[in-house]
C-alpha cells in the first residue's frame, strides 16, 4: 500500500470516528429533551413511572396549564417573564453597546483602569451580591417588584462589554475619521454609522441579555419571596414540583417547560446567522 493511500484511509477513518462520536453526543443531548416532550403529553398522572414512553397521550396537560390557574397561574408568570426579559434586554443591550463603543474608540486617562475594574468585578459570581442587592432594593421599596428585578438584571450588564468591544475594534477607524472630517460628532458616528454596521453584535447581545432573565431562578426567587402573582416562569414552574404538588402537577410542569423553550428556540433559529457572526466575525462580515 502506498503512503498516499494509507493517509487517505487514515483520514477517512478519522472522519468516520469523529462523526460517530458527534452522533453519540447528539443522542445523549437530545434524549432528555425527547423525554420531556413525550411526558408533557403523557395521559397518566404522577411524577415517577417505571417506563420511558407514555402509554397514552393527551393535550390536556397544555390545556390545564392555561385554564386551571387557581393554584398555579402559568399565563401570568409567562407574561411577567416576557415583560422583564424584553425590558432588561433593551436596557442591557443599550448599556453594553455604548460602554463597548466608548472603550473601543475613546482614549481617556481612566480608560485602562475602568476596563480592569469591570473585568475583575465580572469574575465574581453574581450570587455573592444577592444579599446586598436585596437590602438595597428593600430600602427603596422595590422588593417583590418586577421593576426592581428588571433594574437588577440591567444594572450590571455593562460588565459584559468584552465581545462587543472586540467587534467595534474591527471597524476601521478611517470610517470615523472620514465622518469627523465631514462634520459628524461622536454621537452621530455611533448612532448613524457604527450601529448600522454592527447588526451581528447587536443581535448577539440582545439574545444573551434576553436569555439571562428568561432562565434565571435564583435572583427572582429571592426578590419575590412567595408573591405568586409576581413570579417568573422559572420560579413558578419550580413550585409545581414541590413535594406536596409534584404528583398532581408534574406533567403540567413538563408542558410548561416545553412552552417556555419555544420562544427561545424560535429566537435563536431566526437570528442564528447573526449570532455566529457576532462571536466569530467582524464588522466587515456584517
Give the tens place of pLDDT for each residue, 48-98: 788 888 888 999 999 999 998 888 899 999 999 999 999 999 999 999 998
The 10s digit of each residue's pLDDT in 157-167 is: 878 888 888 88
Contact partners, residue 114, CB within 8 Å, separation at least 6 = 103
Structure confidence by residue, pLDDT tens digits, 185-203: 888 888 888 888 888 888 8
Residue 281 has pLDDT above 80, yes or no: no
Task: Give the pLDDT band of residue 3 (cuts 50, 70, 90).
Answer: low
Name the maximum alpha-carbon separation found in the chain: 80
Q: Is 42 helix (H, G, I), strand (E, B) or coil?
A: strand
DSSP 8-state class, residue 225: T
What sign does the CA torsion over 208, 164, 127, 150 have? negative
Task: Report the pLDDT value the prediction gives residue 75, as an integer from 0 to 100.
Answer: 93
Give the CA distances from residue 283 to residues 55, 206, 256, in Å, rounded to whole numbers and listed in that order: 53, 17, 39
Identify the residue whose cell numbers are 402559568.
74
Residue 35, Ramachandran bin (φ over 0: left; ψ between -120 and 50: alpha; else beta): alpha
Question: Under a CB-based contact definition with an 8 Å cutoff, are residues 78 and 260 in contact?
Answer: yes
Alpha-carbon distance of 247 to 250, in angstroms, equals: 6
What pLDDT band is residue 285 in, cutting at 50, 70 and 90? very low
At residue 86, the pLDDT reads: 93
For 209-225, how does the pLDDT look when each residue is reduced to its tens digit (9 = 90+)? Answer: 898 889 888 888 888 87
Element (H or E) spanning 21, and its range?
helix 3-40
Position 169 pLDDT exceeds 70: yes
Residue 71's nearest CA partner among 236, 255, 254, 261 is 236
DSSP string for 70-137: TT--HHHHHHHHHHHHHHHHHHHHHHHHHHHHHHHH---TTHHHHHHHHHHHHHS-GGGGHHHHHHHH
Q: What residues form DSSP beta bridges with 42?
A: 57
Predicted pLDDT of residue 286: 41
The mean pLDDT value of the chain amounts to: 85
Q: How is residue 26 written as a grid cell?
A: 447528539
Q: What is this structure's pTM?
A: 0.82
Are 214 and 81 in contact by the 8 Å Cβ rule? The answer is yes
Contact (CB, 8 A) for 61 and 42: yes
Amino acid at each position: 500500500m502506498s503512503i498516499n493511500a494509507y493517509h487517505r484511509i487514515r483520514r477517512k477513518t478519522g472522519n468516520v470516528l469523529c462523526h460517530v462520536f458527534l452522533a453519540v453526543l447528539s443522542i445523549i443531548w437530545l434524549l432528555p429533551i425527547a423525554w420531556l416532550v413525550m411526558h408533557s403529553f403523557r395521559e397518566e398522572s404522577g411524577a415517577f413511572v417505571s417506563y420511558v414512553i407514555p402509554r397514552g397521550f393527551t393535550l390536556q396537560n397544555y390545556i390545564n396549564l392555561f385554564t386551571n390557574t387557581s393554584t398555579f397561574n402559568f399565563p401570568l408568570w409567562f407574561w411577567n417573564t416576557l415583560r422583564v426579559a424584553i425590558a432588561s434586554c433593551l436596557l442591557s443591550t443599550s448599556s453594553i453597546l455604548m460602554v463597548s463603543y466608548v472603550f473601543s474608540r475613546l482614549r481617556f486617562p481612566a480608560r485602562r483602569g475602568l476596563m480592569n475594574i469591570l473585568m475583575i468585578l465580572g469574575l465574581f459570581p453574581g450570587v455573592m451580591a444577592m444579599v446586598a442587592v436585596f437590602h438595597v432594593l428593600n430600602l427603596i421599596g422595590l422588593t417583590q417588584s418586577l421593576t426592581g428585578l428588571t433594574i437588577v438584571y440591567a444594572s450590571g450588564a455593562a460588565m459584559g462589554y468584552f465581545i462587543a468591544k472586540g467587534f467595534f475594534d474591527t471597524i476601521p477607524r478611517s470610517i470615523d475619521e472620514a465622518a469627523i472630517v465631514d462634520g459628524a460628532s461622536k454621537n452621530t458616528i455611533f448612532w448613524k454609522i457604527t450601529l448600522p454596521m454592527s447588526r451581528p453584535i447587536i443581535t448577539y447581545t440582545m439574545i444573551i441579555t434576553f436569555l439571562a432573565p428568561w432562565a434565571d431562578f435564583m435572583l427572582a426567587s429571592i426578590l419575590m419571596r412567595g408573591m405568586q402573582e409576581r413570579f417568573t416562569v422559572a420560579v413558578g414552574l419550580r413550585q409545581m414540583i414541590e413535594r406536596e404538588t409534584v404528583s398532581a402537577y408534574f406533567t403540567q410542569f413538563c408542558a410548561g417547560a416545553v412552552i417556555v423553550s419555544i420562544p427561545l428556540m424560535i429566537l435563536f433559529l431566526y437570528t442564528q446567522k447573526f449570532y455566529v457572526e457576532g462571536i466569530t466575525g467582524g464588522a466587515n462580515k456584517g
